[in-house]
Amino acid sequence: MQIIDSHCHLNILKKKQNHHETLANARANDVIGMLNISVDMETIEEVISQAQLQENIWASVGIHPCHCPTSPMSDVDIQAIKKYSQHEKVIAIGESGLDFFHSKEVESQHQLNYFEQHIDLAKSLNLPIIIHCRNARHKVIEMLRANDAQDCGGVMHCFAEDWQTAKAALDLGFYISFSGILTYPKLEELREVAKHVPQNRLLVETDSPYLSPQPMRSTYNQPAYVKYTLATLAELHQKQLHEMAQITTENFIHCFNVQLTA
């Protein structure tokens, strides 16, 4: 069985656990690949370096909405992301998007500029974009539509929205990635949404070291734990675990246009 964690933050996780131990735990739990996500300019090089330590680890480049400066995105940052995107390990832009949880929408207009610039970058570089959406689902969909994000496609990461939002993203050609929150007992509505996402658009992730799945909620998250989310998704779609692993792995390969190294 081969599982891919489509979204993790290995550079943050290393503060909790030795990087090599993290990779060993992942392999012991059939996690053979992962996408290491950057959130700011300061750590992009580290994120890429970690991806170079092992086959089937890739990187993204971009600025998380909560790390956006309040000034418009500078041409210096745009050019830097373009440069980093040329690295053979970089397969996506982001994560980017909107977060109106940590600051109100009226206080977050700078995020709109950064989000639009990231979409433009993804389209110009022909790379998928990783979308962060928190308390901003209507605006995220509005901006994806307004900026022709279907031309690059990508992933709605750590999906926790309603079916209307999922359907809108699917119509734009996006994949829907579920994290450990899918396993939380109170989130039955989210599990109902997951049932309706077409199997050829499903991905699984940890978002580690955050959002540990239900059986491991007392500790930090790591790629090895993506199997718990995978098991829940398999049950919802009435599949065996190995079948859902194959489905989500093939979806990852298709979404990011990568090949697995044996």
Is residue 221, in this structure, part of any structural domain at all? Answer: yes
Is residue 261, in this structure, part of any structural domain at all? Answer: no
Residue 256: its pLDDT value, please? 98
Q: How many residues does the chain have?
A: 262
Is residue 30, in this structure, part of any structural domain at all? Answer: yes
Q: 36, 92, 98, 24: which is closest to 67 by C-alpha?
A: 98
> Are the C-beta atoms of 91 and 58 separated by less than 8 Å?
yes
Is residue 17, in this structure, part of any structural domain at all? Answer: yes
Is residue 262, in this structure, part of any structural domain at all? Answer: no
DSSP 135: S
Number of domains in the chain: 1
Is residue 136, in this structure, part of any structural domain at all? Answer: yes
Cβ-based neighbour number of residue 261 at 10 Å: 9
Tens digits of residue pLDDT in 108-129: 788 999 999 999 999 999 999 9
Is residue 203, in this structure, part of any structural domain at all? Answer: yes
Is residue 139, in this structure, part of any structural domain at all? Answer: yes
Domain extent at residue 248: 3-256
Helices (H), the chain: 10-13, 19-28, 44-51, 75-85, 109-125, 137-146, 163-171, 188-196, 226-236, 241-256
Residue 233: its pLDDT value, please? 98
Strand 31-36, strand 57-61: pairing: parallel
CATH number (domain holding residue 46): 3.20.20.140
Residue 218: its pLDDT value, please? 87
User: Which ranges of the chain have pLDDT less than 50?
Assistant: none
